[in-house]
Chains A and B, each alone.
Chain A
Amino acid sequence: MLEYLLAFLIIAGGAFTFIGSLGLARLRDFYSRLHGPTKATTLGVGCVLIASAVYFSRGEAASFHEILITLFLFITAPVSAHLMAKAALHLKLASLAERPEPRERD
């Protein structure tokens, strides 16, 4: 029974990760493509990690590394997306959305 649940989680995880990557190919501007890796992939990796944590916790000592991976992923993924968006704005990359007026900086 548990095997089926784990198999389902891994397949779902793979599917979401795939859709996230598919976004890179199908979306049309840089800013939209940023959404793929920060979101669709989070759930994909989440599913795989839950499956991994449950699988390796059977029998012997529980496995907690997956919790840490999730934590670090949640901290780092948005930061890298933010920095890439900031760099793209700075370089004035073409965008489908109307770009906001650049502000004066000191």
Chain B
Amino acid sequence: MIQRLLPHPLLTPILALVWMLLANEFSAGHAVLGLVLGWAIPVFTLRFWPEPTRIHRPLTLLRFIVVVLFDILIANLAVAKLIVSRPRRLQPAFVEIPLAVRSDLAISLLANTISLTPGTVSAELSPERDRLLVHALHVTDTEALVATIKSRYEAPLKEVFEE
């Protein structure tokens, strides 16, 4: 029953917060409206997102977000440097990453993270959902790249959403 009435308990406060940011006003009225929307939207979109989401370790998630933001900064500088200095000598490559995460949310977050960080764009998920194809802009050591992605991004995501 509670599952049907409140399918994604975490989504409700997040949507309420986004609503108040959109309105650019933190008042009681907008908080109530935001909470109503935050309750109604998950209920009506339940069939698109049936599996419940649980966050096991909020601190790990927080640390992951900080690491990713920092990496985005570094990635931007690195890619900018590559574009300006030597676009002719880049060695792009496709790299396949075997996935250890299984849930939809964790896979999407991992793919998004990969696209936002160092010289990599996620290109395709295999039909069996066990490998992610990644295009790297400049890579000399494919195994090191796979190892970095697995330890730096996939491991914390697995800890937070699956475990």
Binding site for B on A (CB under 8 A): 16, 19-20, 22-23, 26-29, 31-32, 34-36, 38-40, 42-44, 61, 63-65, 67-68, 71, 74-75, 77-79, 81-82, 85-86, 88-89, 95-100, 103, 105-106
Can you report 7 residue pairs joining A to B where beta carbons are below 8 Å apart? Answer: A19-B83, A22-B84, A31-B121, A74-B112, A75-B112, A79-B112, A81-B122
**Could you say which interface size class chain B belongs to?**
35 or more
B53 contacts the other chain (Cβ, under 8 Å)?
no
A105 adjacent to B127 (CB under 8 Å) = yes
- Asked whether, in the complex, the Cβ of A82 is within 8 Å of the Cβ of B123, the reply is yes
CA distance A29 to B90 in the complex (A): 11
- Indicate if the CB atoms of B83 and A43 lie closer than 8 Å: no
Inter-chain contacts of A29 with B (CB < 8 A): 92
Chain B nearest CB from A74 CB (Å) reads 7
Within the assembled complex, what's the spacing in Å between the Cα atoms of A85 and B161? 27
Q: How many residue pairs bridge A and B at CB < 8 Å?
A: 121
A43 and B111 alpha carbons, distance in the complex (Å): 19
A38 is contacted by which of B77, B91, B116, B126 (Cβ under 8 Å)? B116
Partner of A95, one of B21, B76, B91, B92: B92
Could you tell me the distance in whole angstroms from the C-beta of A24 to the nearest C-beta in chain B?
A: 9
Task: Choose among A20, A68, A81 the residue that contacts B21 (Cβ–Cβ < 8 A).
Answer: A68
A82, closest chain B residue (CB):
B122
Interface membership of B43, Cβ < 8 A? no
Residue from the list B77, B83, B121 in contact with A23, Cβ < 8 A: B83
Closest-CB distance, B133 to chain A (whole angstroms): 6
Distance, CA A56 to CA B8, complexed state (A): 34
A contact residues around B21 at 8 Å (CB): 64-65, 67-68
